[in-house]
Structure 1
Amino acid sequence: MNLSDWIERWAGFSADKPALRYEGAELSYGGLARHIARISGALSGTLGIRRGERVAWLGLNNAESIALLFACARVGAIFTPLNWRLTPVEHLALMADSQPSLLVVEPEFADAIAAKKVVVTGPRLACTGGPRAGWLDWDAMVEAAPLLGGGEGRYDDPVLLCYTSGTTGQPKGAVHTQDGMLWNAVNSTQMHDLTSQDRVLTTLPIFHVGGLNIQTMPALHAGATVTLHRRFDAATTLRTLVDERITLAVLVPTQLDLLLAEPGWNAADLSALRCITTGSTIIPAGLVRTIQARGIPVIQIFGSTETGPVAVFQRVADSGKVGVAGHCAVHCEMRLVDGDGNDVAPGQSGEVLIKGRNIMIGYWRDEAATRAALKDGWFATGDIGHLDGDGFLIIDDRKKEMIISGGENIFPAALEAILTECPDIEEAAVVGRPDERWGEIPVAVVVPRPGARLTEEGVLALFQDKVARYKHPRAVIFTDHLPRTSIGKLVKADIRKLARQTPPASSP
């Protein structure tokens, strides 16, 4: 058995029921089952993809990406979704690491990939949307492929390679098994009281486990209907919530802010919406209360790419407790430990450790990072928290230096490396500064070399075409030195204070 059996079984119960809605189209459970069989046939029969091989996807949210994941599960391959917000250079680095046998690309990303000579040096390339010179015609190939109803995939096979980044800024691929995906779906079902009667809206990109695994895959496990938006748009989201009588949705705080700013928000009929799930960053209490004043419960989730992500959560009954992450998932365990790995006393803060069958099995081809993160099955999240009097987890701080801006993870080390390449910069650091709209924004704190005349515009231009736009620092602060410890380590806490207190300015 494998994950694709979810769709086969629901097709047996309700073949005509909508499984996926997207771009005005609809795919029933029966139709999705047949499409998965076709893609499986193309992967296995036409292309010869075997167990353990990677199949990368570069595109926006659509039904094809979901069907491809299930087809990978059927043949035992590993689905590798690439972040479409990254630059082609960043995509090439991820593909060099994952070494996919096949890359399936949507047309709007094909030119950039082809320009980097991937056609010559990389995996076989397939493009959706019709014929393209030098590429496999994905749609025609799938249409002509034989139906594959069996397959070699099993629940203990790796099925998802999802890239995150460590505190060093180097990408790491978290590897999840089909069994892990199943237990994550069970955790989500218990979090949301998810049933086949639900109508779920997915606006977060599925290259994140938040978009893929908080509700999308669990909803298909439960036989529910999922509406996929290719990318988030506040007006479209509000209209869909009303018109399709959506019952569940995951929206990060930045999206919620934009949704509340829509002119039709106050008058919209959202009576079908059972709750909104949010997370990924610090959740402003005022934002939660504004939404809940309309009678819509807001519940929080705590987890990471490595945890699948459903590890700690609130349920609707807990939504009145604003600012807490929740209780440990039913099929997880949680510990809070001090620096020596000892459990802390009740009420004291410690690093959050999570254990469960939903946890990744390790980082792709990185044994050292895996050993550091996983010890006796416990995943060290790098987040510091404590339990309140009712046993709810409250996150105090992030042990890691990661910046979360608009729900996207930004790692300072990669940006600092770009800054230090500039001959006019003596040293530099990147830290997060609170922002009402984005939660946090990256700010560069720069020490110019003697005699150099730098401007904010000039420093910001250093990031052009080197990293995705959302990672670019939003401001530059010039200073004559960066605070360091006696052994030369940067004191990031003091730099963050400087970034918050000092307005951006050009160097003298």
Structure 2
Amino acid sequence: MNLANTLRRIALAEPGRPALYEGDQLRHDYGALAARVACLAGALRSQGLAPGDRVVLFMRNHPAYLELMYGCWWAGLAVVPVNAKLHLREAQWIVEHSQARWAFITTDVGTGLQLPGRCIDVEGPEYAALCTGGQAPLEARGTDDLAWVFYTSGTTGRPKGVMLTHRNLMTMGLTYFVDVDSIAPTDAIVYAAPMSHGAGIYAIPHVMAGARHVVPASGGFDPAELFALGRGIGPLSMFAAPTIVKRLVDHAEAHGLDGAAFKTIVYGGAPMYVEDIKHALRVLGPRFVQIYGQGETPMVATALSRAALMDSAHPRHAERLASVGVAQTPVEVRVADAEGRALPTGEVGEVLVRGDTVMAGYWRDAEATAAAVRDGWLFTGDLGSMDADGFLTLKDRSKDLVISGGSNIYPREVEEVLLLAPGVAEVSVVGAPDPEWGEVVVAFVVPQPGRVVDTGELDAVCLEHIARFKRPKRYVMVEALPKNNYGKVLKTELRQRLKDEALKR
């Protein structure tokens, strides 16, 4: 079971079907796309890469992303997608930890990356040459062979490499048709959110269906561009964090637009405020589906369907809007106590997931794997409750993760960097609710005695060591941090202080 066989199948049956667009310009039909993918696979294999080797993609959204995903799989390799917003040092750590042999970059993102093998600019002549050589036969892969290593931050601040197999991703792709949306060959998915994350993974079901794939000319999210693309080439489907949904809705409202440019907007990756989804439904209509998952069970845990979102006559409609829906078809979802025992309806506990989308484990981290997956159940670290109809509502996170604009930010990582700044004695980082981003990072800073801490210097230290999106949006200078008898900082008190301040405004 090789994921690339789904591309080969469509290319053989209907080679002339439109496949890959850059903006509104068709770059390849399925026959040409498969040919380029087979050439890439041939080049990778002929230059020493062997099945199971890892290849890093550190790029902005680009048409080559899809070619490389399937080219690596065609050759039997594993893809290591790296968030284009990460700092070069963070990306370098992932390269070294994953033991990647090669990397493909865009120069605006990956210049300076060091590897034992080659680092290739996808907009340069080296890449063009790789796409025009001899074609490789499709490499046979087992269902449990590695396909994707997704690095998601750990509680220590160091990322963990989630190992996803061909079975994991094939199951995810097939589940899309059952629990998320139907896909016709004439449909088009647009990649406005990072292809290194959920947006890119959703290429899989759309290749299965032989649909069209659209990379915006901007390489990212621009609401005016997306509405224009939808009007020009047909209604678009997309995956979006709630902050992107909000910006789409604001743009539509400001310009008197309806939702005709979109077929389906799948949202997830962060909590969506109930009033925001109500507003989105009013402005853009019945075009939304919510999914809940994690990197460890990609895009598959629960789904809140289009029908449930629109069923305003249901007596518990308000509660359902606040939920993340019901378990998707190939998985079991339960709310459990610390030992993994299922809790009664309505009680709050940790959310557990079991099924064929749950990861094979963390790359080179057996201890973390054993802690996260027990008896086949993934312990998500999220707290929630299940109602009598099977709808899951998330209550809080058991970890201190901050989700800002759909991106995960772990406070300890930011704290460790801020402690490098001159004059900082202690620091504690928490998330504060934000209507646009979901949460923003706030740092409580204790200056050293007699010192005045310059927030500009704090920003500079952050920008030197971590990605820009992880930098605190606000610094609060305090004389001391609240702590318990064991010396542990009471972050709940810090969060409550921020909520109290917000209520007074």
TM over 0.5: yes
User: What's the counterpart of residue 331 of structure 1?
Assistant: 330
Secondary structure of the residue that 1:34 maps to in structure 2?
Answer: helix
Secondary structure of the residue that 1:351 maps to in structure 2?
Answer: strand
Residues 1:49 and 2:46 aligned together: no
Secondary structure of the residue that 1:324 maps to in structure 2?
Answer: coil
User: What's the counterpart of residue 297 of structure 1?
Assistant: 287
Residues 1:86 and 2:86 aligned together: yes
Equivalent AA in structure 2 for residue 403 of structure 1: V
> Cα distance, 1:250 vs. partner?
1.7
User: What's the counterpart of residue 15 of structure 2?
Assistant: 15
User: What's the counterpart of residue 387 of structure 2?
Assistant: 388
User: What's the counterpart of residue 208 of structure 2?
Assistant: 221
Give 1:24-35 correspondences, 5 Å limit: 24-35=25-36
Query: How many Å separate the matches in 2 of 1:219 and 1:324?
Result: 27
User: What's the counterpart of residue 129 of structure 2?
Assistant: 140
CA contact (8 A) 1:325 1:395 kept: yes
> Cα distance, 1:364 vs. partner?
0.7
Give 1:104-253 correspondences, 5 Å limit: 104-113=104-113, 118=114, 122-131=116-125, 137-143=126-132, 145-197=133-185, 198-208=187-197, 210-213=198-201, 215-229=202-216, 230-253=219-242
User: What's the counterpart of residue 494 of structure 1?
Assistant: 493
Query: How many Å separate the matches in 2 of 1:394 and 1:163?
Result: 26
Change (3 A) 1:221 1:16: same
> Cα distance, 1:383 vs. partner?
0.4
**TM, length-normalised to structure 1:** 0.92
Give the stretch that moved more between structures: 298-307 or 494-503.
Answer: 494-503
Residues 1:285 and 2:274 aligned together: yes
Give 1:433-472 correspondences, 5 Å limit: 433-472=432-471
Q: Say how many residue pairs are matched.
A: 488
> Cα distance, 1:273 vs. partner?
3.3
Cα deviations by residue, 1:233-286 (Å, 9 ceiling, x for unpaired): 121112122222224222222112222232676543533634321111110222
Secondary structure of the residue that 1:262 maps to in structure 2?
Answer: helix
CA contact (8 A) 1:242 1:268 kept: no
> Cα distance, 1:78 vs. partner?
0.7
Equivalent AA in structure 1 for residue 122 of structure 2: T
> Cα distance, 1:330 vs. partner?
0.4
Equivalent AA in structure 1 for residue 33 of structure 2: L
Cα deviations by residue, 1:441-479 (Å, 9 ceiling, x for unpaired): 100001111111123333333212211111100111111
User: What's the counterpart of residue 4 of structure 2?
Assistant: 4
Equivalent AA in structure 2 for residue 375 of structure 1: R
Cα deviations by residue, 1:164-188 (Å, 9 ceiling, x for unpaired): 0112211111010011110001111
Equivalent AA in structure 1 for residue 43 of structure 2: A
Query: How many Å separate the matches in 2 of 1:13 and 1:54?
Result: 30
CA RMSD of aligned residues (A): 1.9
User: What's the counterpart of residue 417 of structure 2?
Assistant: 418
Equivalent AA in structure 1 for residue 174 of structure 2: V
Equivalent AA in structure 2 for residue 318 of structure 1: A
**TM, length-normalised to structure 2:** 0.92
Residues 1:73 and 2:62 aligned together: no
Query: How many Å separate the matches in 2 of 1:53 and 1:265?
Result: 49
Query: How many Å separate the matches in 1 of 2:147 and 2:486?
Result: 44
Give the stretch that moved more between structures: 428-437 or 448-457.
Answer: 448-457
Equivalent AA in structure 1 for residue 459 of structure 2: L
CA contact (8 A) 1:76 1:154 kept: no
> Cα distance, 1:501 vs. partner?
4.0
Give unpaired runs (5+ residues) of structure 1: 132-136, 504-508
Residues 1:311 and 2:301 aligned together: yes
Change (3 A) 1:187 1:123: same
CA contact (8 A) 1:242 1:270 kept: no
CA contact (8 A) 1:349 1:386 kept: yes
